[in-house]
Chains A and B, each alone.
Chain A
C-alpha cells in the first residue's frame, strides 16, 4: 500500500515544480524570520530572489551542525514560541546540543512521513506496532509512535530496554511490526532464543530499523533470526527525525520523501555538487518545515542518489544505504559519539589532555565501547582503590554525558602510538 499516492507517485515534472515552489517559500521565510540565516545569506551575497530554478539551490550557503549549535536553544526557530508545540534534542554532547522545534503542522507532516514509512514496510491499519525506539528527547520513539497512530495501526509504546519484556509483549500482543535500531533488533532475537521463543510462532512480519548504519549482512541475519522483513529507514533530528527516507518492500535504496526534503550529493572537501549518481556527502534542505527550516544541511553521511524508477511506483529519488561518514562521528548502539567528546570528558576528569584511544567492538550483536587511558604520574596512585575510583569516575561521566556505557582500561604509558593523529585515535573493529 502507498500512503499518499498523489505525493509519492507524482510525475517528476510536477514534483520539481512543487519542490521549487516550496523551496522559494522556505528560503524567503528563513531569510525573513531567522536572523542567523539572513546574516549567512548576506555574507554569502545571495538573496532569496536569486533562486530562479531548482538548480540555483547550489548558490545558497550550507548549514552545519555547528551553526545550529551556536544558535542554541531557539535561535534557528522561524516561528514564535507560542506556535511551537514540541521540541526534541540531538543526542548528548559536552557542548550544547541542538534543539529542534515543531509546530502543530510540522508534527502532522512528521506523522504523515512516518505513516508513509510504515506503509513502505507493508504496514496497514490492521498492524500492531511495537515501538522499541527510545521515547523522550530522541526523535525515534515519538516519531514512530505518531506515524503508527496516523496509519491507524495499534501502537505498543514500550520504548527501549527490558528485552525479556519486549519478547513477551511481542508474543502475547500479537505484534506484527517492530520499530527500533537494527542492533537492538538482533539483541531482541538473541534474548528470544535464550527464552526459547520460536520467532516462527510470532506474528511479526516487518521491522523498520534506523538511527544507525547497518549492512546487508546484518539485514540477512535479522530477517533470518526474527523471521520478518527488515526495512532500512533514515532520518535525523535536524531535518525532522525518522521519516526522511525509507526503503520500500523492494529493499533497493531508500525513497527520499523529496516533496518535503530536497536532497543533494556534494563533494565534502570542496562543497561542490557532484554529478547525478555519484557518491558523496548527503545534504538536505527542508521544503515544508515551519518551525525549523534548515537549508542545505550537511549531514556528514555518505550516500549516492538513485534516479531509476522503482517497481513500487513511488517516484521519489532513492538514496543508497549510508556507507560511511565524512567526519569521525561514531554511532554506538544508536547514539552519536564524537571522539572529541570523550577527550573533553578525560580533560575534565583529569585536568589535562591525556593520551587515550577509543576502541569499538561488536560483542555478540551489541556495540562495545572501550577507552584506553594511559596512566601517567599525575593520575597514578599507589592505592588500587584510587585507581579504581578514577576508572569509575570516567565511566560514569561518559555514561551521563554521552548516554552510552564505556569500559575504561588503564594502560601503561606509551602503549598508544604517539604518531596517531587526533582523528586516528579510534579503532573501530566493527568494520
Chain B
C-alpha cells in the first residue's frame, strides 16, 4: 500500500535538477513522477522511479544527499471537485498532509495523487475505510 519516494537535496542554481535526471537516465532509471519543492536557496526533488535502490545508489555515488520516504498514491476520478472531495474527507478525519503532488493518468478518466502524510498508517486506514483506490508501488512503476 505504501510507496517509496526518493527525495534529493539540490541547491537552487541552474542545472542541478538536470544533473540529477541526467545521472538517473544514464543509469537506466525511469522516472515515473517528479515534483520539485523550492525555496530561495535550495530545492527538494521528489521522485517516484522504477528502481528505488539503484537510483539511491547512483545519487549517493555522485555525492547527492538523497533519502527514501514512504508516500501513498491514490487514484481519483479526473473530474471537477475530485481533489476537493478527497481532501475534505481527509480533513474531517484529522489526517495531516505534509505535501502532495499529482498528475493525470488518462485525461478525463483517472488522476493520481501522491501524498506524504504526517501519520502514514492512520492515513492509510482512513483512505481504506473510504474505499479510496490506493496504488501499489508495482502498479505505479509499471504505468
Q: Which of B35-53 contact A (CB under 8 A)?
A: 37, 39, 41-42, 44, 46
Question: Which of chain B's residues have a CB closer than 8 A to the CB of A412?
Answer: 9-11, 16, 63-65
Pick from B9, B37, B69, B99: contact of A410, CB below 8 A.
Answer: B9
| Docked complex Cα distance between A415 and B69 (Å) | 25
Where chain B touches its partner, the secondary structure class is: strand
User: Do the beta carbons of A382 and B116 come within 8 Å of each other?
Assistant: yes
Whether the Cβ atoms of A410 and B41 lie closer than 8 Å is yes
Q: A387-B42, A412-B11 are in contact. Are A380 and B99 (CB under 8 A)?
A: no
Tell me if B98 counts as interface (CB < 8 A to partner A). Answer: yes
> Nearest-CB distance from B8 to chain A (Å)?
9
A100 to B41, CA, bound (A): 42
Let me know if B63 and A382 touch, CB within 8 A: no
A387 and B44 contacting across the interface, CB-CB below 8 Å: yes
A375 at interface by CB-CB < 8 Å: yes
Neighbouring B residues of A381 by C-beta, 8 Å = 7
B24 interfacial contact with A, CB 8 Å? no
Residue contact A383 to B65, C-beta cutoff 8 Å: no
Q: Is B67 an interface residue (CB 8 A)?
A: yes
A382 closest partner in B (C-beta): B7
Which residues does chain B contribute within 8 Å of A382, judged by CB atoms?
5, 7, 44, 46, 67, 69, 116
A377 to chain B: closest CB distance in Å? 5
Chain A 382-419 interface residues, beta-carbon cutoff 8 Å to B: 382-385, 387-388, 409-415
Which residues of chain A are near B11, meaning CB under 8 Å? 410-412, 415
Chain A neighbourhood of B44, CB < 8 A: 382-384, 387
Contact of A376 (CB < 8 Å), options: B39, B41, B65, B99: B65
Partner of B65 from the list A375, A384, A385, A388 (CB cut-off 8 Å) is A375
- Across-interface contacts of B10 in A (CB, < 8 A): 412
- A384 proximity list for chain B (CB < 8 A): 37, 39, 44, 99
Residue of B nearest to A410 (CB): B42
Q: Mark B1-36, 1 if CB is under 8 A from A, else 0.
A: 000010101110000100000000000000000000
Q: How far is the CB of B100 from chain A (nearest CB, A)?
A: 12
Contacts known (A383-B99, A384-B44); A377 close to B39, Cβ less than 8 A: no
Q: Which residues of A contact B41 (CB under 8 A)?
A: 409-410
Which residues 172-207 in A have Cβ within 8 Å of B in the complex?
Answer: none
Question: What's the nearest-Cβ distance from chain A to residue B45, in Å?
Answer: 10
Cβ contact within 8 Å between A383 and B9: no
- Shortest Cβ gap from B95 to chain A (Å): 16
Q: How far is the CA of A413 from the CA of B41 in the complex (A)?
A: 14
Asked if A383 and B116 sit within 8 Å, CB to CB, the answer is yes
Question: B10, B44, B63, B116: which has the most chain A beta carbons within 10 Å?
Answer: B44
CA distance A376 to B67 in the complex (A): 10
| B 99-140 to A, binary, CB cutoff 8 A, 1 in contact else 0 | 100000000000000001000000000000000000000000
Contacts of A377 in B (CB 8 A): 65-67
Please tell me if the beta carbons of B116 and A380 are within 8 angstroms of each other in the complex: no
User: Within the assembled complex, what's the spacing in Å between the Cα atoms of A380 and B67?
Assistant: 8
A352 to chain B, nearest CB (A): 14
Where the two chains meet, the residues of A that have a C-beta atom closer than 8 Å to any C-beta of B are 375-377, 380-385, 387-388, 409-415
Chosen A-B contacts, 11 in total, with CB atoms closer than 8 Å, are A377-B67, A380-B65, A382-B69, A382-B116, A383-B98, A383-B99, A383-B116, A384-B37, A410-B41, A411-B11, A411-B42
Taking A380-B66, A382-B69, A384-B99 as given, write out 11 further A-B residue pairs in contact, using a Cβ cutoff of 8 Å, ordered by the A residue number.
A375-B42, A382-B44, A382-B67, A387-B42, A387-B44, A388-B39, A412-B9, A412-B10, A412-B11, A412-B65, A413-B63
